[in-house]
Structure 1
Amino acid sequence: MKSIQEFLSYLNELDVRLWSDDGRLRCNAPQDALTPTLRAELAERKAEILDFLKQANLATSSTHQPIRPVPRNGNLPLSFSQQGLWFIDQLEIESTAYNQLFAVHLCGSLKVAVLEQALTEIVRRHEVLRTTFQSVDGQPVQVIAPNPDLSLSVVDLSDLAEAKQSAEIQQLAISELDRPFNLEQLPLLRVTLLQLKAAEYVLLLAIHHIVADGWSGGIIIRELGALYEVFSRGKPSSLPELPIQYADFAHWQQQRLRGAVLEEQLTYWTQQLADAPPVLQLPCDRPRPAVQTHRGATITLRLGVEVTQGLKQLSQQEGATLFMTLLAAFQILLYRYTNQDDICVGTTLANRHSRDLESLVGFFVNTAVIRTDLSGNPSFRELLGRVRRVALEAQERSDLPFNLLVEKLQPERNLSHTPLFQVMFVLENAPIDTLELPGLTLSRFELAIAAATFDLSLSMRETQQGLIANFEYNIDLF
């Protein structure tokens, strides 16, 4: 049986939230996450879990203060991750490397004015979407505009043939990604509505990574659906006011991540990545350029419902998450092509430890390096156990910003590749779902756009038709 810490870490990976409410154990979990086996173990270990939560609350009361609103009349610091992007922006003027694009397919009778009203309300709700970044005495600070100022651009493509429409959508999307943002000026969110037919549209949301991450995209789309529905009926917003904002998190993080807390995380990662191989030697078709390029292409694979269910069952049998199982399989694939048994793969961690952060737009996601030992010809189950252990350790120490880790380790800089890892693996944990509204459907719109940040990236997400795997690769290497 797992230790209580391992069991709770495993539940956290499954996005199962536990808390104590007046001595009663409360639980919030995604659909199908709590299998009969897990439910039985929760019931069996209820007293143990409540005792652990009580002790944890006592231990953290003095060292892990809750996030509280801070005054807005002084200089507001950036989070550590924001600082990293701000410094990059200072060095690479008009860089578009950290532009993101979310695309939403809208089908039905759309009220454009109501859509713009809903988007404006989202910008009002989330301060970070009306935040700019100024330099005060050489240090960056957040400056929050008091009122939302959003402009919805509308482009009519309805006169074009379907093939030309598709090409124009791609071109407009690429143009949005290639337009730089000025971090000192609003907006850092640009919204364009493309009309394809009388009752079909595509909504493009271009946003700088310094104010939002991938999880934030899901929040924006879900709130857009909820607000559009009530505004179209002439009703006020039904969404509760947010108890904290991103600036409050940034201040809390700057206060918390120092001293012993910072030193413990730095010590772990320094030891974990000591003497790691600097480059994963994938067999390339072309010589590696002296300076890394970002020209990319993608290949998409679908695993199907049966394979997906089999992977989930294996994960449950081994006390692992689907993420861990998929990562183990991916690392075996990398071993096959590199013949290296010491493999470092980058991944992203949501880093939203508080329930208040789960519904907040902002740049929370953190990058972690999962280093796995594949030596000794392990069975898949044995390797999965190794991946599980390292992944849980990484999750428990996910606060340390990646830029601080690189600064601490000081790997030999080489402009031809990224430091510490060159291959990324991501399992989307907050995919954009289809939203059915009265008279209107919102769903994810796929764009065939690739910008290779790494040599190779594998991004996976689960759909009703099974897992989808998207391989993105650098075409100057492969």
Structure 2
Amino acid sequence: MLSELIEQLNEKNVALAVRGSELIVRGSERIVDEPALIDVLRRNKAALMALIQSGDYIGPDGIGEVPENRIPVGCSAITPDMLPLVEVTSDEIECMVNAVPGGAGNVQDIYPLAPLQEGMFFHYISGERRDPYLSHVLFSFESRPQMDAYFEAMQSVIRRHDILRTSILWEGLHEPVQIVWRHAPLRIEELVLRPEAGDIAKQLIDRFDPSHFRLDIRSAPLIKIVVARDSLSGRWVALALSHHLAIGGATLAVIQEETRAILEGETRNLPVPVPFRRFVAQARHGACIRRQDEFFKEMLGDVDEPTAPYSLLDMPVDGLPIREEGRLVEASLARRLRAAARTLHLSTATLFHLSWASVLARVSGRNDVVFGTVLFAGMRDGDGKMRLPGMFINTLPIRISIDGSPVRKCVEDVHGLLTRLMRHEFTSLARAQRCSGVIAPTPLFGALLNYRHNPDRNSSYAAHVAEPDIGTEREGEGIELLGGSAHRTNYPLTLEVDDFGESFHLSAIAQMPIDPERICTYMHTALEHLVQALEQAPTTPVRGIEVLPRNERRSLLVDWNATHADYPQDQCMHQLFEAQAAATPEAVALLREGQQLSYDGLNRRANRLARHLRTLGVVPDARVALCMERSIDMVVAILAVMKAGGAYVPLDPAYPADRLAFMLQDSSPVAVLTHERLPAPVLGTLRLGVTASNVPVIDLDA
């Protein structure tokens, strides 16, 4: 088949092109001169040329010729052949055109979602009332004309870039698509707010909080502007809402830079816009599905449980408070990290990935962890790719074992794994998860690592991100940037690492009750111990990398275990309990799943059961079997046996039937305390085991 031939050529790094009526073959001389290869190319020349000219050819660099946009200006009817990047029917096209104001004449292009957009779109449609990927930026303007001029300049930026004129449509279609509008006017809503109700900026943020507000992504641009006049200061406050489906942090920076350039009359210095369709084509078609599946099945095939930090996997529907804390990595540690990376001929990102895995192993209770790592899936030909607005990042899983492997070997293994992972940067997260044993919709992981290179940022910026509440920034004369929301994800824990070339900054974004400051401290500690092991003892098992800082480790191992206390040596435990019940009868003694029992209530219930046990013959040295699940009744039963003078024999309902039967026979209990709600096989084993000796089985539910 032709697809198999293309795959074989790509494996040999052989690229094809068409020049006039000739098929051009590029590759190493040794491979290209092979007679067998020349023969197969001659036999398939016509088919290969047709494939290249159609735009469906994918070369070894990840992409072939990207088909040009075939929708002409002024088009009154769009047909399927005009949309080479997506397969749709005429009925679906009609559905799309009807959803765009101005119809076909206002449709510039239609293509599918990129991989990261697919994941965000899933969370959007499943988010019900909330929108986890909605962010905002706050501005303050001296006057209304100044504000109008600013947003008119922003409208000019929107006209420049396809992704800023894009809407998302899915209703009535077999797959979601993004539609580029030719004309997408900014939506500006003016509100009248009362200063006596509080700060105007805070009122705007509260009203459009993503926990209860959703942006309509079916309408372009995916930006909404809300403005209100502050009658006390006379200034105008504007809230710019945007959706990460099209506009990430880097894109917001491009919008602000180009808006400022337009206001200052510097439009000649703006770069030539690059159609976002090129990236979509590369992301959708620039990959071999078979290779993707082979890689992720090899890495994730035997993973059948998710990695859940603090047992959290997903943000709840109504959302929980999100906190963000950050800290700079100590300068001396930053230098040691870079020196260790140079010595091992790998990137510092590798050291951060392994350290993050060590932290997650501790907070998730797993030695084998999976987390998401954010990759910048940039354009292959890319001069200035960082300045292109749009969603050029992807999140993919990486699996790291925190086991007995030597630290140095583990670092090298992680470096190799990251290198291989980057070759599959366009794989969708959904496809990667399908290669694991974790069945959707259960997430594969609950934590992310976003390692970002910011070499152009100076130390003053590093100090700024370390202190996010530094205040306002000037955007221009009379214009202030009041702040904005941090990038949010649908995962309960994210660690962002900013690499400034010399220094590093850690920022943890966490769902309550996770403490982001503590997470940063754990990460800093893990980095310290990792680099120390690489410097002094590279054969140290990676599971020995410590994440707890010295003070917290002392609290856990020493301070909180300082349980020594003086108590009367001539009294039994149940007598000490009775004294406590007499001193604090109304205090809560037991609390479980919404049920609670006071000291007096627990004492009374235990006394009643103890008197009953004595009537059954429970005396000192007599044994009472307890077969029940953990519950308030179990504590009552233990205390009652002590009060009756006997000893209790714990029988776990999860034990095999043979083990339960043996323990009953071996302990010869006077009575068995249990619950009728236990599984029938367990109850049957208990009754069978005591039938011969006529021992009563007491149901505490009764």
Report how far residue 394 of structure 1 moved.
Answer: 1.1
Out of 353, 356, 381, the residue aligned to residue 330 of structure 1 is: 356
Distance 1:238 1:136, change over 3 A: farther
2:507 corresponds to:
470
Report how far residue 459 of structure 1 moved.
Answer: 2.0
1:404 corresponds to:
431
1:114 corresponds to:
149
Q: Is the Cα contact below 8 Å between 1:367 and 1:402 reproduced in 2? A: yes
1:318 corresponds to:
344
Q: Is the Cα contact below 8 Å between 2:222 and 2:242 reproduced in 1? A: yes
1:17 corresponds to:
none
Q: Is the Cα contact below 8 Å between 1:303 and 1:467 reproduced in 2? A: yes
2:549 corresponds to:
none
Q: Which amino acid aligns with 1:143?
A: I
Distance 1:210 1:228, change over 3 A: same
In the alignment, structure 1 residue 301 sits paired with structure 2 residue 339 = no
In the alignment, structure 1 residue 79 sits paired with structure 2 residue 105 = no
2:272 corresponds to:
241
2:259 corresponds to:
224
In the alignment, structure 1 residue 453 sits paired with structure 2 residue 490 = yes
Report how far residue 343 of structure 1 moved.
Answer: 1.4
2:106 corresponds to:
none
Report how far residue 272 of structure 1 moved.
Answer: 1.0
Out of 401, 405, 419, the residue aligned to residue 373 of structure 1 is: 401
1:146 corresponds to:
182
Provide the rounded CA distance (Å) in 1 between the counterparts of 2:285 and 2:270. Answer: 30
Q: Is the Cα contact below 8 Å between 1:297 and 1:450 reproduced in 2? A: no
1:35 corresponds to:
none
Q: Is the Cα contact below 8 Å between 2:454 and 2:500 reproduced in 1? A: no
1:9-408 matches, cutoff 5 A? 60=59, 64-67=63-66, 69-72=68-71, 73=78, 74-75=82-83, 76-81=110-115, 82-86=117-121, 89=124, 96-99=131-134, 101-103=135-137, 111-134=146-169, 135=171, 137-153=173-189, 164=199, 167-168=202-203, 170-171=205-206, 175=209, 178-192=212-226, 204-230=239-265, 236=267, 238-242=269-273, 244-257=274-287, 261-276=288-303, 278-280=305-307, 282-283=309-310, 294-304=319-329, 306=331, 307-338=333-364, 340-354=366-380, 355=382, 357-376=385-404, 378-379=406-407, 381-408=408-435
Q: Give the 3-state SS of the residue equivalent to 2:158 in structure 1.
A: helix
Provide the rounded CA distance (Å) in 2 between the counterparts of 1:382 and 1:406. Answer: 27
Q: Which amino acid aligns with 2:358?
A: I
Q: Which amino acid aligns with 1:295?
A: L
Q: Give the 3-state SS of the residue equivalent to 2:261 in structure 1.
A: helix
Structure scoring higher RCO (CA < 8 A, sep ≥ 6) equals 1
Q: Is the Cα contact below 8 Å between 1:351 and 1:399 reproduced in 2? A: yes
Distance 1:104 1:130, change over 3 A: same
1:40 corresponds to:
none
Q: Is the Cα contact below 8 Å between 1:303 and 1:468 reproduced in 2? A: yes
Report how far residue 363 of structure 1 moved.
Answer: 2.5
Q: Is the Cα contact below 8 Å between 1:67 and 1:249 reproduced in 2? A: no
Provide the rounded CA distance (Å) in 2 between the counterparts of 1:313 and 1:157. Answer: 55
Number of residue pairs the alignment of both structures matches? 406
Report how far residue 438 of structure 1 moved.
Answer: 6.6
Gaps of 5+ in 2: 1-26, 32-57, 72-77, 84-109, 462-472, 516-702
Report how far residue 297 of structure 1 moved.
Answer: 2.9
Report how far residue 349 of structure 1 moved.
Answer: 0.8
Q: Is the Cα contact below 8 Å between 2:313 and 2:443 reproduced in 1? A: no
Q: Give the 3-state SS of the residue equivalent to 1:77 in structure 2.
A: strand
Report how far residue 332 of structure 1 moved.
Answer: 2.0
RMSD of the alignment, in Å?
4.4
Q: Give the 3-state SS of the residue equivalent to 2:112 in structure 1.
A: coil
Q: Is the Cα contact below 8 Å between 1:106 and 1:203 reproduced in 2? A: yes
Q: Which amino acid aligns with 1:362?
A: G
Provide the rounded CA distance (Å) in 1 between the counterparts of 2:195 and 2:130. Answer: 34
Report how far residue 278 of structure 1 moved.
Answer: 1.6
Q: Give the 3-state SS of the residue equivalent to 1:392 in structure 2.
A: helix
Provide the rounded CA distance (Å) in 1 between the counterparts of 2:337 and 2:196. Answer: 44
Q: Is the Cα contact below 8 Å between 1:460 and 1:467 reproduced in 2? A: yes
Q: Which moved more, 1:457-466 or 1:204-213?
A: 457-466
Distance 1:254 1:388, change over 3 A: closer
Provide the rounded CA distance (Å) in 1 between the counterparts of 2:264 and 2:315. Answer: 52
Distance 1:185 1:157, change over 3 A: closer
Distance 1:113 1:431, change over 3 A: farther
Q: Give the 3-state SS of the residue equivalent to 1:271 in structure 2.
A: helix
Report how far residue 166 of structure 1 moved.
Answer: 6.8
Provide the rounded CA distance (Å) in 2 between the counterparts of 1:432 and 1:165. Answer: 35
Q: Which amino acid aligns with 1:103?
A: V
Q: Give the 3-state SS of the residue equivalent to 2:111 in structure 1.
A: coil
Provide the rounded CA distance (Å) in 2 between the counterparts of 1:300 and 1:290. Answer: 19
Residues 279-323 of structure 1 deviation map (CA, whole Å, 9 limit, x = unaligned): 335456xx9999777414324131256144443343333333333
Provide the rounded CA distance (Å) in 1 between the counterparts of 2:125 and 2:187. Answer: 27
Q: Which is greater in Rg? A: 2
Provide the rounded CA distance (Å) in 2 between the counterparts of 1:61 and 1:466. Answer: 36
- Percent identity over paired residues: 16
Q: Which amino acid aligns with 1:341?
A: N
Q: Is the Cα contact below 8 Å between 2:452 and 2:497 reproduced in 1? A: yes
1:26 corresponds to:
none
Q: Give the 3-state SS of the residue equivalent to 1:129 in structure 2.
A: helix
Q: Is the Cα contact below 8 Å between 1:270 and 1:409 reproduced in 2? A: yes
Report how far residue 403 of structure 1 moved.
Answer: 1.9
Q: Is the Cα contact below 8 Å between 1:158 and 1:195 reproduced in 2? A: no
Q: Give the 3-state SS of the residue equivalent to 1:428 in structure 2.
A: strand
Gaps of 5+ in 1: 1-50
